[in-house]
């Protein structure tokens, strides 16, 4: 091995400092021989001196007695083109330094710590080099600290091993109490949050000096998810890995590496939303030929089950097998006639996908019994005609999206996966939505542990082998792996719009927090677009979406995903054809993105340019408070007039009292125009901006 010392200021303690614009990393081995790092932004402390290391089952002292063997540095400034994304080209600009360290005691274990310093923060990972005295080993604990310089405001959800589906709490670090929420959130199927003071990542922090800090991880592969334990007295956050069934955190085999720990920081909130650090830390696409991967919008037989109008199951009785036949309840949503109705609507409106849930047998007792062999993923209910629907969908150029709910029985899915993907290939399904509602099997494993992290990746790879795109519900939260596996279009791993169907729902601020937290790791299948905002849940008068209708439209721009559902019923869209036009028009793949303004918990305004087209789309959302979103259109091409179609809250709209009131107006605009959009309490606005044609140039009035 060659150890270079170039460009570094090294002292006997190994003390090193690297600066990239406003970001500075300091690293040293302290008097105990423990690795210690700190991060500054514009001279302000982001991470106070924090120690690093591990407790291994085989070596409880893998955090001290280290000596520095050498360092290596390199500088990278490159660009790459994502298969799909918010921008068509991503700049990857960083300086890397590797510290090769060795323990002076015991077996003399080797460890490498690799830092990358970006314009917008710092990332690091541990590598265990090949070495004689450390081959197969077990991580009992990772001891990485993130010591905070103050009692910052945190946007957090409980550090639950099995769920990310909580509403966010905004509090001081010292006020974190995961149990309060974990105990009361009975609408979440499985909740396991043993540490009262643990939170999930991505964690967003705001300092009183106005720094925004996001802590998460990138490239989570063959390791368990990192949560953060909060020490209220010292304001220290410590990495806490989700354990397996016997309490271990990860099984490794040297040479091996951990995921990257990421610290993204800026004094401007929009910079966090624009950060590409997590994507950049993931490997380039492992899929060479990607022409079969295509972002899409979809509708589905789905909301009708969420609201209780129809059911996933064919029968109301799990044990109704009389002479081998289930007794139909008459409420089964996934019947051939209904699927055709959705296919017709999709075809008429240029929507590519139709998700059909509840098509396969097993839904009568799918949940809550911890039953292993729950679904087989190939046997349809008697009223779902696979061959006829294959023919019908193809004749209308629509793709039916396969649904594989596993009920948390990952072992069952592992055994069936090859068969399930072959079935998809044979019957024309080019994408699948999987799901993991319930306690995991292997029993004792958790959704966010290493075993399941490997399982989700296996499903993504298997899907890629079969040229199938995948959307995973209830996995661990994403860490940018969609760069490496662009067939991994989206995942849920957060509290989606569905919670508005069956619970107290999502508060109006929810969608202004998600992009700063969960979405930092990757796209979410949030399922926006509900138009019938109140009264959809039989017998529950106050059940409603906690936004206005116009805000539902804005979410197609503010919540980025290459996979976007139009979640409401066809008949509710037919009742608002004018507003539905925005959903028809809005693309799911982009050349460029401008974050105009953003404040977590309060508002977000984003403008994006359609991929390979001259059209722009804007979305502006607010929390429970009304506001005016101003968008200067300076990004438009000079000398060209555009038509802006503005889908806005009506003057008297209000998320609670009058959510359905919207107005749609058209104006001529150019790059000197500044749009001023009035957002109602809990409201939003969506705008499409397209080059004007000759007729529009004459007929449409100028914006003022
Ligand atoms: C939970 C998922 O989030 C939801 O979208 C799905 O309909 C149900 N599980 C059933 O699979
Ligand atoms: Ca879910």
pLDDT digits (tens, 9 = 90+) for 605-619: 999 999 999 999 999
Nearest to 430 by CA among 394, 391, 401: 401
> Ligand 1 atom 7: the closest Cα is on which residue?
302
DSSP letter at 141 equals E
Instruction: Catalytic residue, from 304, 364, 474, 498: name it.
Output: 498
Q: From ligand 2's centre to the CA of 188, what distance in Å?
A: 8
Distance CA 488, CA 243 (A): 25
| CA nearest to 200, candidates 163, 243, 152, 234 | 163
Query: What one-character-per-residue DSSP string does 614-637 give?
Result: S-EEEEEEESSS-EEEEEE-TTSP
Nearest to 672 by CA among 629, 697, 628, 704: 704
Nearest-10 crossing angle of helices 386-395, 336-349: 10
Instruction: Give strand pairing partners of 434.
Output: 404, 472
> Catalytic annotation on 12?
no
* CB atoms inside a 10 Å sphere around CB 11: 9
Q: What's the pLDDT band for 321 if we cut at 50, 70, 90?
A: low
Q: If pLDDT is split at 50, 70 and 90, which confidence band does 537 have?
A: confident
Give me the DSSP letters along 348-360.
HHT--EEEE-S-B
Over the stretch 365-392, which tens digit does the pLDDT of each residue have? 999 999 999 999 999 999 999 999 999 9
User: Cβ(478)–Cβ(491) under 8 Å?
Assistant: yes
Coil vs helix vs strand at 665: strand
Residue 5 has pLDDT above 50, yes or no: no
C-alpha of residue 433 to centroid of ligand 1, in Å: 9
Q: What is the mean pLDDT of the chain?
A: 96
Ligand 1 close to Cβ of residue 405 (< 6 A): yes
Note the ligand closest to the C-alpha atom of 437.
Answer: 1
Residue-level pLDDT at 322 = 58
DSSP 703: P
Instruction: Compute, in angstroms, the gap from residue 165 CA to the centroid of ligand 2.
Output: 7
| Percent of the chain residues topping a pLDDT of 70 | 97
Q: 304 in ligand 1 pocket by Cβ < 6 Å?
A: no
CA distance 390 to 596: 44
592: CB partners within 8 A, 6+ apart: 87, 88, 608, 609, 635
| Closest to 548 measured CA to CA, from 564, 569, 529 | 529
> Nearest 5 degrees, angle CA 645-CA 651-CA 654?
105
Residue 2 has pLDDT above 70, yes or no: no
For residues 259-284, average pLDDT: 98
Atom of ligand 1 nearest to the CA of 527: 5
d(CA 645, CA 661): 17
Which sign does the torsion angle of CA 456, 458, 459, 465 carry?
positive
Between the CA of 528 and the centroid of ligand 1 the distance, in Å, is 14
The pLDDT of residue 319? 74
> To the nearest whole percent, how much of the chain has pLDDT over 90?
95
Does residue 152 have its Cβ closer than 6 Å to ligand 1? no
* C-alpha torsion sign, points 161, 164, 166, 169: positive
Q: What angle do CA 629, 86, 166 make, to 5 degrees?
A: 70
Please tell me which residue, 177 or 320, carries the higher pLDDT value.
177
Q: CA–CA separation, 275 vs 86, rounded Å?
A: 11
Edge to edge, the sheet with strand 226-231 lists: 16-20, 23-29, 35-41, 44-51, 145-147, 236-241, 226-231, 198-199
Pocket test for ligand 1, best of 404, 435, 474 (most atoms within 8 A of CB): 435
Q: Tell me, using a 6 A CB cutoff, whether residue 473 lines ligand 1.
A: yes
Q: Are 453 and 415 in contact (CB under 8 A)?
A: no
| Cα separation, 537 vs 546, whole angstroms | 14
Give the tens place of pLDDT for each residue, 121-162: 999 999 999 999 999 999 999 999 999 999 999 999 999 999
């Amino acid at each position: 091995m060659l150890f270079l010392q170039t460009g570094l200021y090294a002292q006997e303690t190994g003390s090193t400092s690297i600066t990239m614009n406003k970001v500075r990393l300091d690293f040293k081995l302290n008097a105990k021989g423990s690795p210690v790092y700190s991060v500054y932004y514009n001279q302000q402390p982001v991470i106070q001196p924090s120690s690093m290391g591990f407790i291994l089952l085989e070596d409880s002292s893998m955090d001290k007695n280290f000596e520095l063997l050498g360092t290596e540095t390199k500088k990278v400034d490159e660009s790459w083109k994502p298969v799909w994304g918010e921008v068509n080209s991503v700049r990857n600009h960083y300086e890397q330094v590797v510290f090769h360290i060795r323990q002076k005691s015991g077996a003399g274990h080797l460890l490498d710590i690799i830092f990358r310093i970006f314009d917008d923060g710092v990332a690091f990972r541990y590598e265990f080099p090949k070495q004689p005295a450390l081959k197969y080993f077990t991580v009992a604990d990772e001891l990485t600290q993130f010591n905070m310089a103050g009692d910052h405001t945190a946007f957090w959800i409980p550090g639950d091993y099995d769920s990310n589906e909580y509403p966010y709490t905004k509090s001081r670090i010292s006020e974190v109490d995961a149990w309060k929420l974990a105990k009361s959130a009975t609408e979440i199927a499985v909740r396991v949050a043993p540490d009262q003071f643990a939170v999930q990542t991505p964690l967003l922090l705001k300092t009183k000096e106005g720094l925004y800090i996001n802590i998460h991880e990138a490239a989570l592969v063959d390791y368990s998810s990192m949560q953060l334990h909060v020490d209220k007295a010292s304001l220290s956050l410590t990495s806490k890995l989700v354990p397996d069934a016997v309490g271990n955190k990860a099984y490794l085999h040297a040479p091996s590496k951990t995921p990257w720990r990421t610290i993204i920081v800026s004094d401007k909130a929009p910079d966090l939303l624009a950060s590409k650090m997590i994507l950049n830390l993931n490997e380039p696409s492992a899929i060479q030929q990607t022409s079969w991967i295509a972002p899409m919008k979809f509708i589905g037989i789905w909301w009708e089950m969420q609201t209780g109008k129809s059911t996933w199951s064919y029968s109301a009785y799990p044990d109704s097998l009389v002479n081998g036949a289930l007794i139909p309840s008459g409420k089964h949503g996934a019947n051939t006639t209904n699927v055709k109705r959705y296919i017709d609507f999709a075809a008429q409106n240029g929507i590519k996908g139709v998700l059909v849930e509840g098509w396969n047998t097993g839904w009568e007792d799918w949940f809550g019994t911890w039953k292993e062999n729950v679904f087989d993923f190939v046997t349809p209910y008697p009223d779902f005609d696979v061959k006829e629907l294959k023919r019908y969908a193809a004749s209308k150029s629509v793709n039916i999206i396969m649904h594989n709910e596993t009920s948390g029985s990952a072992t069952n899915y592992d055994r069936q996966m090859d068969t399930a993907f072959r079935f998809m290939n044979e019957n024309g399904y080019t994408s699948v939505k999987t799901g993991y509602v319930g306690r995991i099997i292997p029993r004792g494993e958790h959704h966010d542990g290493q075993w399941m992290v490997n399982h989700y990746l296996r499903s993504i790879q298997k899907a890629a082998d079969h040229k199938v795109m995948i959307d995973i519900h209830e996995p661990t939260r994403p860490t940018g792996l969609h760069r490496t596996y662009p067939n991994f279009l989206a995942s849920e791993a957060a509290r989606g719009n569905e919670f508005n169907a069956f619970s107290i729902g999502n508060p109006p601020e929810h969608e202004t927090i998600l992009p700063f937290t969960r979405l930092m790791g990757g796209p979410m299948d949030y399922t926006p677009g509900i138009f019938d905002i109140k009264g959809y849940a039989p017998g529950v008068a106050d059940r409603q979406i906690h936004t206005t209708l116009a805000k539902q439209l804005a979410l197609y721009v503010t919540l980025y995903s290459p996979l976007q559902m139009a979640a409401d019923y066809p008949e509710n869209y037919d009742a608002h054809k004018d507003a539905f036009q925005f959903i028809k028009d809005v693309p799911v793949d982009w050349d460029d993105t401008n974050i105009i303004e953003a404040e977590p918990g309060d508002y977000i305004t984003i403008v994006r340019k359609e991929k390979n087209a001259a059209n722009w789309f804007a979305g502006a959302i607010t929390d429970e408070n009304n506001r005016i979103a101003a968008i200067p259109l300076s990004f438009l091409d000079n000398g060209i007039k555009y038509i802006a179609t503005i889908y806005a809250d009506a003057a008297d709209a209000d998320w609670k009292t009058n959510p359905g009131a919207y107005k749609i107006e058209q104006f001529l605009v150019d790059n000197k125009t500044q749009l001023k959009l009035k957002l109602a309490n809990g409201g939003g606005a969506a705008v499409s901006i397209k080059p004007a044609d000759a007729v529009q140039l004459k007929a449409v009035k100028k914006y003022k």
